[in-house]
Amino acid sequence: MSAPEGYDYRTRTHGEVHIFHHGKLAKMLKDESAQQFLAAVKDGDAQAVMADAVGGSAQGGGVARGPGGPSQHLHGNGEAHSQREFRRKSG
């Protein structure tokens, strides 16, 4: 199997770590878990560490799947809302 790829991470000034997979937020880490993650990235293969942190395996298991699948975001699952026609009330 191929090694994990497409992961990236950003650190925030207040200590959070945000892990992205192909540009989409996959996981947010805080406090002790964020510090452990940063230490693991420093000592090992960053792509494998990020895959493990979000729930994927080093054998290409992919991103952890929640109720909405891998595209689950903080505000919905990324699907577009259907268009609605509104009529203005007069009177």
User: If you write DSSP's letter for every residue of 23-64 in order, what string do you get?
Assistant: TEEEEEE-HHHHHHHHHHHHHS-HHHHHHHHHT--TTT--S-
Whether pLDDT at 25 is above 50: yes
pLDDT tens digits for range 35-84: 999 999 998 889 999 999 998 644 444 444 444 444 444 444 444 555 56
pTM confidence score: 0.58
